[in-house]
Chain A
């Protein structure tokens, strides 16, 4: 039995699902804020891409590092956290046939987050917090900067607990029967990881804040790196979890894909919760003070069970899509089902490309670079951002963009304008980000450092010249980054237009992105999925080639112990 109060619910005209109006308000509020921070981060991104392109070298050194700080925090923290809170409110209400736990708590969460995020951005523009996202002590930012981060973390925690409140009242009021839906399960895994992550954030940021105020003398730099990465890395696993939940959601919304085996999918989410926090250790693989056994255990045993989880989702999501498509009669050969997917639906295209980029580029490079010894030939080079732009941008951001193509028509009840442009937007963005990630990785293989203003070392007494190939690759970073920026700008313009000026569809179903697909013959029938299996075997082959090539490259460098 649903537990909505009168006048606080509407029925979706497209899906027939109930929408809690309080939750809808906060989903909108958080999503709009998310997109504003995405825009700030994107404007910073184009400045960075055009500075690292040696022929352009746009920004002066001080502004480069300031804008780099701005980019990291707005993209990796603010855009993603605000959007995730919106996702949690959606999963905790509509999908559980229940109402938002508390409007007041939702206001408190949003206020803390927005005050914190604005404080951080103000501190950065004041010019006394050029400390980059990691703010490794004893590099010192202003108290406003650390205080802002603490407020964002606390606000997010409050929002997460509001989500747990939603689950509690749904369970109490018996608004659903049996176990929670898979997408809710994934969102809950993300929420649980977020709690651990944000607590680490508090543990590291409170003393750092006190130090910036002059209340305490020092914060140990090695200790800071250890605890900070339990925030910095685990928070990315929140993104991964939320992204995978979005893959399942869009697979269902776009093609009616249902997971073949819920036990497998849910177990994979549990692996994320259990093993990802310790995997943060792979940021300290060439650090002093942490020993071999510690590194191998934490990055090997534990991380690889989390890796296993991603490899499982990488099969189960395409398999769900394949099974549904085969049910429509697209049974010929290995890949007819794939060719007949709704590629003109930007949500589907974004979500499927997100899987490909996350797996084939982000996943393979991430596991390889995070291998204890291989990290020696990768740490702090451009190979690292090459990896995480494929996971967080090509993966999470692209999947969230895809979700927006349903959120705007279904929750904001507004239609996107210029649909042909919206249809090509995910492709422009994906091509740009793939090109940028790959060229970053190659530049990093030539030894080009990340977070570095000038590869020509102007003003350096001894200097250094990189292989000309590195300069070419950095030009590629500029070109790919510009293309991705244009794709992102197009997304923001279309979405803002739709939200504020778009045609209202209240009272009628949304205009579907593609003509209706043929019906699935038998909803309960499971089809064999050789196509999805072939795709993951291809992934494994690429993985093995890249992995062993890196061991070979490592074997050629000086001996070190």
Chain B
């Protein structure tokens, strides 16, 4: 009984439906466990957590250099369009309440090493409408090896609360 001490000899193996269910549930749990290493080797979408320590000042300087080197002169919504060469390192600095650079132009099916960090608080990298989400933490240079597989115009939203202007923090990625 649930609210009185159990009778002597209560320590026993399950039987019948209970035994079958414990077995089935265990198999299902193991299957879910194996799915993750399987996808790590065979799947194309993985978060490996590759990161390096970086100070906000150093990261901002790298980002500025990246923007100066790769801006095309074209402007969208008043912002410089930055178009890096395929296969290179690209930088995205998050701060209250904007991303820098605001507009990135990438080539479909090329891979880039995207470095993300924050100049102030925690921020989020939320690529819409693809709905891919990663965390941006100050002090950490978070590197994603990213391959845009579908052309189109995408928004990057901040999806980690970062103060009163949080909802204004958006940027653009154009894939051609």
Report A-chain residues with C-beta under 8 Å of the C-beta of B2.
181-183, 248-249, 251-252, 257-259, 320
7 closest A-B pairs by CB: A288-B51, A288-B142, A449-B159, A304-B29, A559-B147, A464-B155, A379-B133
- Distance of A558 Cα from B145 Cα, bound (Å): 10
- Distance of A312 Cα from B49 Cα, bound (Å): 33
Q: A296 in the interface, Cβ–Cβ < 8 Å?
A: yes
Q: A225-B137, A319-B18, A457-B168 known; A183 and B3 CB under 8 Å?
A: yes
Q: A367 in the interface, Cβ–Cβ < 8 Å?
A: yes
Closest chain A residue to B111, Cβ basis: A559
- Distance of A445 Cα from B131 Cα, bound (Å): 8
Taking a contact as CB atoms under 8 Å apart, the answer to whether B122 and A558 are in contact is no
Q: A300-B32, A300-B33 known; A559 and B172 CB under 8 Å?
A: no
Within 8 A of A (CB), among B130-176: 130-150, 155, 157-172
Q: A173 in the interface, Cβ–Cβ < 8 Å?
A: no
Q: A260 in the interface, Cβ–Cβ < 8 Å?
A: yes
The answer, among A249, A251, A453, A528, for a CB contact under 8 Å with B167, is A453
Report A-chain residues with C-beta under 8 Å of the C-beta of B167.
61, 452-455, 457-460
- Distance of A315 Cα from B40 Cα, bound (Å): 33
Closest chain A residue to B109, Cβ basis: A559
Stretch with Cβ within 8 A of B (4 or more), from A114-122, A132-140, A154-162, A330-338? A132-140
Taking a contact as CB atoms under 8 Å apart, the answer to whether B32 and A547 are in contact is yes
Q: A373-B43, A557-B130, A560-B47 known; A460 and B11 CB under 8 Å?
A: no
Closest chain A residue to B28, Cβ basis: A540
Q: A377-B131, A547-B32, A559-B147 known; A95 and B3 CB under 8 Å?
A: yes
Closest chain A residue to B128, Cβ basis: A447
Taking a contact as CB atoms under 8 Å apart, the answer to whether A132 and B161 are in contact is yes
Report B-chain residues with C-beta under 8 Å of the C-beta of A292.
40, 46, 48-49
Within 8 A of A (CB), among B23-57: 24-26, 28-30, 32-33, 35-37, 39-40, 43-51
Q: B64 in the interface, Cβ–Cβ < 8 Å?
A: no
Q: A138-B121, A295-B49 known; A319 and B8 CB under 8 Å?
A: no
Within 8 A of B (CB), among A512-557: 528-530, 532-533, 536, 540, 543-544, 547, 551, 554-555, 557
Taking a contact as CB atoms under 8 Å apart, the answer to whether A462 and B137 are in contact is no
Taking a contact as CB atoms under 8 Å apart, the answer to whether A288 and B147 are in contact is no
Report B-chain residues with C-beta under 8 Å of the C-beta of A8.
none
Q: B5 in the interface, Cβ–Cβ < 8 Å?
A: yes
Chain B's interface size range is 35 or more
Report A-chain residues with C-beta under 8 Å of the C-beta of B168.
457-461
- Distance of A61 Cα from B165 Cα, bound (Å): 8
Q: A286 in the interface, Cβ–Cβ < 8 Å?
A: yes
Q: How many A-B residue pairs have CB under 8 A?
A: 315
Q: B124 in the interface, Cβ–Cβ < 8 Å?
A: yes
Taking a contact as CB atoms under 8 Å apart, the answer to whether B145 and A561 are in contact is yes
Q: B68 in the interface, Cβ–Cβ < 8 Å?
A: no
Q: B14 in the interface, Cβ–Cβ < 8 Å?
A: yes
Closest chain B residue to A561, Cβ basis: B145
Q: Shortest CB–CB separation between residue A359 and chain B, in angstroms?
A: 12
- Distance of A319 Cα from B171 Cα, bound (Å): 53
Taking a contact as CB atoms under 8 Å apart, the answer to whether A558 and B130 are in contact is yes
Taking a contact as CB atoms under 8 Å apart, the answer to whether B48 and A179 are in contact is no
Contact with A along B111-124 (1 / 0, CB 8 A): 10000000011101
Contact with A along B5-24 (1 / 0, CB 8 A): 11110111111111011101
Report B-chain residues with C-beta under 8 Å of the C-beta of A530.
17
Taking a contact as CB atoms under 8 Å apart, the answer to whether A312 and B22 are in contact is yes
Taking a contact as CB atoms under 8 Å apart, the answer to whether B26 and A308 are in contact is yes
The answer, among B3, B122, B159, B160, for a CB contact under 8 Å with A249, is B3
- Distance of A65 Cα from B163 Cα, bound (Å): 8
Report B-chain residues with C-beta under 8 Å of the C-beta of A285.
47
Taking a contact as CB atoms under 8 Å apart, the answer to whether A560 and B120 are in contact is no
- Distance of A547 Cα from B135 Cα, bound (Å): 23
- Distance of A251 Cα from B40 Cα, bound (Å): 43
Q: Shortest CB–CB separation between residue B146 and chain A, in angstroms?
A: 5
The answer, among B124, B133, B138, B146, for a CB contact under 8 Å with A378, is B133
Contacts A/B (CB < 8 Å), 6 sampled: A264-B18, A289-B137, A292-B49, A299-B36, A308-B26, A558-B45
Taking a contact as CB atoms under 8 Å apart, the answer to whether A288 and B140 are in contact is yes
Q: A471 in the interface, Cβ–Cβ < 8 Å?
A: no
Q: A61-B167, A65-B161 known; A373 and B47 CB under 8 Å?
A: yes
The answer, among A222, A372, A558, A560, for a CB contact under 8 Å with B36, is A372
Beyond the given pairs A176-B5, A315-B18, A379-B134, 14 more chain A to chain B contacts, judged by CB atoms under 8 angstroms and listed by A's residue number, are A62-B164, A221-B137, A284-B135, A286-B47, A288-B140, A296-B36, A451-B166, A457-B170, A460-B167, A460-B170, A540-B24, A557-B131, A560-B45, A560-B145
Q: Shortest CB–CB separation between residue A317 and chain B, in angstroms?
A: 10
Taking a contact as CB atoms under 8 Å apart, the answer to whether A460 and B169 are in contact is yes
Report B-chain residues with C-beta under 8 Å of the C-beta of A132.
161
Q: B88 in the interface, Cβ–Cβ < 8 Å?
A: no
Closest chain A residue to B7, Cβ basis: A178
Q: B73 in the interface, Cβ–Cβ < 8 Å?
A: no
Q: B102 in the interface, Cβ–Cβ < 8 Å?
A: yes
Closest chain B residue to A310, Cβ basis: B25
Taking a contact as CB atoms under 8 Å apart, the answer to whether B10 and A263 are in contact is yes
Report A-chain residues with C-beta under 8 Å of the C-beta of B137.
221-222, 225, 287-289
Taking a contact as CB atoms under 8 Å apart, the answer to whether A289 and B130 are in contact is no
Q: Shortest CB–CB separation between residue B13 and chain A, in angstroms?
A: 7
Closest chain A residue to B15, Cβ basis: A261
Q: Shortest CB–CB separation between residue A298 and chain B, in angstroms?
A: 11
Taking a contact as CB atoms under 8 Å apart, the answer to whether A560 and B102 are in contact is no
Q: Shortest CB–CB separation between residue B107 and chain A, in angstroms?
A: 13
The answer, among A221, A248, A263, for a CB contact under 8 Å with B122, is A221
Report B-chain residues with C-beta under 8 Å of the C-beta of A449.
124, 126, 157-159
Taking a contact as CB atoms under 8 Å apart, the answer to whether A373 and B49 are in contact is no
- Distance of A158 Cα from B143 Cα, bound (Å): 44
Closest chain A residue to B138, Cβ basis: A221
Report A-chain residues with C-beta under 8 Å of the C-beta of B26.
308
